[in-house]
Chain A
Amino acid sequence: MFTKLYKFLSSLRFTIWLICLLGVIFAAGLWVPQKRLLKTIYLDWQQKSPDLVAFLDSFGLTTIYTSPITVTLWLLFFLNLSLVLWQRIPVIKSRIVLSESKIVDPESAGGYPFHSYYPLPDGLNEDKIFAALRKHGFTILGNGNMFYGVKNRLSPIAFALFHVSFFLILFGGIIGVYTEFRGYVELAQGETFQGELERYKDDPGPKLPEIGSLPDVSFTIKSIVPRVVRNTPTGISIMLVDSRGKSHEVGINVPYNTNHTSVMFKHLGVAPLFILKDSSGKEIGGAYMKLDVLKGGPDHFTLGGLLFATRFYPDYALVDGKPVTRSMEFNNQVFVISVERDGKKIAEGTVPKNGTMTFEGYRLEMQEMPFWVRFYVNKQRGLSIVYTGFALATIGVIWRLLFFRREIIGSIREKEGQLCLVVAGRSEYYKSLAEDEFVKLFSGIVRKTDER
């Protein structure tokens, strides 16, 4: 019973099953809205079909990538992988070992699908043949009487390298999951941030690490310069100065990395400094307002008990009496503002960059308009382990699948009254294609020397 179970757990049939099942789980995760990834869709759907969702919830299918079923499959996957790798070690060892016992007669040896012989031209002797084979990457054992050659002898090790890389990715991934901090923070030009937990946004709130500390960051935003070409944001340059006075440029694809933490640009807004004054010119209130209006949507702020509903037009124009933006480029920046008191609209007007708007004895002044940015702050350990895993996987798969092993056995002997090179060969993975390769190799060696 136990040996049967063990046999199954360490079988390659089980491997195929596991990979298939994992594939099915991943595919299911695409169709079943996932709680964490698609929160709003999930909540909508939960309202519409509460029973179905509750049912799927109970099996963890709405958090499928971390559900008990998936975790079990992963455990079995790595168990299976460990068992198979363990059992393979002696196989790999025996494959890569160089031993005299591999020198066998090319005419009678089994397991070599390619057999041929080539009459030797004058002057082509053992030494020259061996030199040519070595030039083609073969290691040769034996002598002209009988020899064995192998190319890419160590390639089977790469099989283990490739599969072991999965452990690294797993290991790094687990470390990452437990040490991860995620949070968003909104900062305007000139503001300083020292990683204070309470300054992270509430919605979505920060995710604290299960193990380890909060991100250790400290910087001031010196400048924010967005670039837009024909309606496509083509870049942004945010200059940060850290607590040691060193400058760092952050852009799209270019996070600021420090102490296992990345500070990533996510969103851009404008933070105009609005001052509200009364009819006598006395200041009622004023502040930098972080407005999220660059995508054309509305936003609002309050000053002096009034509510200002705003829309922003980066390249403002009036078409048929309606405000429009001609492009996303910052050519003619204008706010269209409607003012409300106690829910009632009392005025509407426009404020161009660094301009003013007057209404009912008030005067709204914009004095400057820097930008603000939303940063995504992510701290995670184990990244270098994961990347090492990627590198090993890549090296392993290239080494194993491109530099696979070829073995030849041969002998220089008389055949049909002529001195011949009698050979047999085999290759991993290929038979017919390897035959073509061997024909090319040996006829090449014989011909080349012939020409000399």
Chain B
Amino acid sequence: MAYWETIFYLVSMVIYALAGGGFIYSFVFKNPRVVSKVTLLVLFGFIAQTAAILARFNATGHLPWSGHYEYALMGGWFIIAGTLFVGWQNKQLQGLAVGTVPLVLIMLGYGYMQNPALTPMAASLKTIWLYIHVYFAWLSFGGYSLAMAAGVVFLLKQKSEAQEVPNPSYERFPSLGRLDELIFRYVVFGFITDTIMISAGAIWAKDLWGSYWAWDPVETWSLISWLIYGITIHLRVTFGWREKRLAWLAIAALSTVIICFFGVNLVVNTSLHMFQVR
């Protein structure tokens, strides 16, 4: 890792940890006012993370996109960017960070323990399809993560509303009906970008490995994950699954994406993707 990269990386982790704590405080102590302040904190963390990416870019000459560490760095950036973006568009959605910030914090912690060494860009990565493939993968990861966060918030809020005295922290959030639809909207965003990611990946694979589909573990797993979200959309559109069921579905389905990014190597070690692509 480059010097400034390490510093900004750690700073962003500390800030996200504080922000995560702030959100938990706001919910446990029923104090909704801190949410916007904590969101500001997330913004600072995001700036630090952006600085870490720039420092790395400066050291290697290319944007981070291979290896678990770079996935954590860049994937986490997209998730936080999405969170801040929706919170900026609609203040009621700032609390989605309660789901995404801890997720990113875990990712960053995990990434730090992996392989942060600086590497020049491997030749296999120099193609337009890779840009499309990787960035759409992250966009879809971001979309699915937001869906998960909306699911978490939905379940928390529903539980709170069932109580005699609902927790005022949840009043800041959109109504249950809107949250339910937001889960679907984020799933849809994730699904569209996922479709583009897989198509671009296949085209890239044809040029790099010689066949557009080789049942490589990462390919297979991303197909599974895409199918799971396809099922989710079907269940919603054609079977009318909503609210609690949809929320749980959005939370559970994210596990398939996390396995796809970080876990396939734990299961099998034969992937062409190798994640430290050479």
Contact = CB atoms under 8 A, between A and B. Distances in A.
Interface of A: 12, 15-16, 19-20, 22-23, 26-27, 29-31, 34, 37-38, 41, 65, 173, 182, 227, 229-230, 232-236, 251-255, 262, 264, 376, 378, 380, 383, 386-387, 390-391, 393-394, 397-398, 401-402, 429-433, 436
Given A383-B206, A401-B191, A433-B181, A378 B211 contact: yes
Contacts of A236: 123
Given A31-B268, A252-B124, 15 more contacts: A15-B234, A16-B235, A23-B227, A27-B221, A229-B120, A233-B278, A234-B122, A234-B123, A262-B210, A264-B209, A387-B203, A402-B188, A430-B181, A433-B181, A433-B185
Interface stretch (B2-10, B35-43, B194-202): B194-202
B126 A235 contact: yes
A232 B228 CA distance: 37
Given A30-B221, A378-B211, A398 B278 contact: no
B231 A16 contact: yes
B120 A19 contact: no
Contacts of B238: 12
B210 A264 contact: yes
A206 B221 CA distance: 28
A30 B202 contact: no
9 contacts: A12-B239, A16-B231, A30-B268, A182-B210, A232-B278, A235-B123, A253-B207, A383-B206, A432-B175
Contacts of B180: 432
A41 B269 CA distance: 11
B159 interface: no
Interface stretch (B14-22, B44-52, B105-113, B212-220): B212-220
B123 A378 contact: no
A29 B120 CA distance: 34
Given A30-B267, A253-B208, A431 B217 contact: no
A433 B178 contact: yes
Contacts of A182: 210
B115 interface: no
B54 interface: no
A77 to B, nearest CB: 11
B156 interface: no
Nearest to A251: B123
Interface residues on B, range: 35 or more
Contacts of A229: 120
Contact of A252 (B174, B199, B208, B213): B208
B208 A20 contact: no
B270 A37 contact: yes
Given A12-B239, A431-B181, A376 B267 contact: no
Interface in B166-197: 174-175, 177-178, 180-182, 184-185, 188, 191-192, 195-196
A397 B227 contact: no
A189 B112 CA distance: 43
Residue among A236, A402, A429 with max Cβ neighbours from chain B (10 Å): A429
A23 B229 CA distance: 11
A253 B123 contact: yes
B119 interface: yes
> 3 closest pairs, A vs B, by CB?
A390-B199, A252-B123, A432-B177
A376 B192 contact: no
B9 to A, nearest CB: 21
B114 interface: no
Contacts of A31: 267-268
A26 B224 CA distance: 7
B239 A27 contact: no
B195 A393 contact: yes
Contacts of A233: 122-123, 278
A233 B206 CA distance: 20
B176 to A, nearest CB: 9
B274 to A, nearest CB: 13
Contacts of A173: 213
Contacts of B126: 235, 252-253
A248 B231 CA distance: 45
Residue among A22, A23, A173, A262 with max Cβ neighbours from chain B (10 Å): A23
B270 A431 contact: no
Contacts of A394: 195-196, 199
Contacts of A429: 181, 184, 188, 237
A446 B268 CA distance: 61
